[in-house]
């Protein structure tokens, strides 16, 4: 025991002498993780429609309503928002049956970002909402409101277009993003339920037609998820991001809505898009929890 005590004392003295000589240094702190470079692409749900005042980038027929969820993500301090290229009412391409002849398409957004090198090998994360314009979501809502007896037909037509025409176009789009940003995780962000049929709060659709439209949204989201899976199988780093679950209980016709709707102006562009709370608590939260950008 005496020997053990002497040995311990001797070792302690040796450590002290070594430290005094500058041979022992404190462990270096890990360098802070660099912010992930983030690019946003797509339609009105990425352009921020519903969150506030409209804004048109100089020289572009492209409407945005900052901040939307891309701006919210950029404000977290963990993410460097390189650019938000999304435009209200953007279709996938000019061949879309609902292309308006003016708004930059998703294909054009990607091409411009590639030329400017804002979409490149250094891009760490891309998010995209696209497909709603291409299946005529606005036509479905308008048709179901004006012609409620034929709402099922409007929904079925949109779902059929999603499953036949939209699916291959989405896969092509996701692969095009991957070809320009091969190291980026690509978040394919889904759409949300606009209505709560059981709330008892009236809106532009009957409760039965609210259920039909919500079911149509689910089927559109299923196509987005399927396309993301196909593209992932072909090498793209795609991942479907479910935002709908975050909005449960916060649909347009609830007491705490995260979906914008102005009953005095039922045709307003901002209607049936997330409001400011929806982008923060719904879309931003979904991206953070599912894509985990802090780990990229």
Predicted pLDDT at 13: 42
The predicted-structure confidence for 95-120, as pLDDT tens digits, reads as follows: 999 999 999 999 999 999 999 999 99
Q: Is the pLDDT of residue 187 over 60?
A: yes
Sign of the dihedral through C-alpha 94, 145, 271, 257? negative
The predicted-structure confidence for 156-165, as pLDDT tens digits, reads as follows: 999 999 999 9
Could you write out the DSSP letters of every residue in 154-190?
HHHHHHHHIIIIIHHHHHHHHHHHHHH-TT-EEEEE-
> Nearest Cα to 177, choosing from 119, 244, 118, 91?
119
93 burial (CB, 10 Å; 0-12 / 13-18 / 19+) is middle
Beta-bridge partner residues of 79: 36
Predicted pLDDT at 55: 83
Q: Say which residues have a Cβ less than 8 Å from residue 198's Cβ, sequence separation at least 6.
A: 207
Calpha distance 72→281 (Å, rounded): 10
Calpha distance 282→259 (Å, rounded): 10
Q: Is the pLDDT of residue 8 over 50?
A: no
Q: Which two tokens stand for residue 205?
A: 């659709």
Contact in structure between 125 and 293 (CB atoms under 8 Å): yes
Predicted pLDDT at 217: 98
Calpha distance 90→47 (Å, rounded): 9
Model pTM greater than 0.85? yes
The upper half-sphere exposure of residue 124, i.e. CA atoms within 13 Å in the direction of its Cβ, equals 17
Q: Is the pLDDT of residue 16 over 60?
A: no
Q: Is the pLDDT of residue 43 over 70?
A: yes
The upper half-sphere exposure of residue 42, i.e. CA atoms within 13 Å in the direction of its Cβ, equals 27
Q: Is the pLDDT of residue 262 over 50?
A: yes
Calpha distance 191→186 (Å, rounded): 16
Q: Say which residues have a Cβ less than 8 Å from residue 272's Cβ, sequence separation at least 6.
A: 50, 141, 194, 252, 259, 260, 261
Assigned CATH topology for domain 33-295: Rossmann fold (3.40.50)
């Amino acid at each position: 025991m005496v020997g053990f005590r002497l040995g311990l004392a001797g070792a302690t003295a040796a450590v002290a002498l070594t430290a005094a000589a500058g041979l022992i240094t404190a462990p270096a702190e890990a360098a802070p993780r660099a912010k992930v470079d983030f690019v946003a692409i797509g339609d009105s749900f990425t352009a921020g429609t519903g969150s506030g005042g409209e804004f048109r980038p100089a020289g572009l027929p492209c409407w945005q309503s900052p901040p939307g969820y891309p701006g919210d993500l950029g404000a977290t301090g963990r993410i460097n928002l390189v650019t938000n290229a999304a435009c209200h009412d953007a279709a996938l391409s000019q061949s879309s049956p609902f292309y308006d002849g003016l708004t930059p398409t998703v294909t054009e957004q990607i091409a411009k970002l590639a030329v400017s090198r804002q979409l490149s090998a250094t891009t760490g994360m891309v998010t995209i909402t696209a497909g709603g314009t291409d299946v005529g979501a606005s036509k479905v809502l308008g048709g179901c409101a004006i012609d409620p007896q034929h709402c099922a037909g409007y929904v079925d037509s949109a779902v059929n277009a999603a499953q036949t025409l939209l699916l291959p176009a989405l896969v092509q789009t996701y692969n095009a993003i991957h070809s320009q940003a091969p190291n980026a995780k690509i978040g394919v962000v889904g759409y949300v339920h606009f209505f709560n049929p059981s709330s008892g709060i009236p809106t532009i659709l009957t409760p039965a037609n609210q259920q039909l439209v919500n079911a149509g949204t689910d089927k559109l989201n299923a196509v987005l998820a399927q396309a993301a899976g196909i593209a992932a199988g072909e090498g793209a780093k795609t991942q479907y991001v479910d935002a709908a679950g975050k909005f449960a209980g916060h649909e347009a016709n609830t007491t705490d809505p995260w979906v914008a709707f102005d009953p005095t102006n039922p045709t307003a562009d901002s209607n049936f898009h997330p409001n400011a709370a929806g982008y923060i608590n719904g879309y931003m939260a979904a991206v953070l929890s599912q894509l985990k950008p802090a780990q990229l």
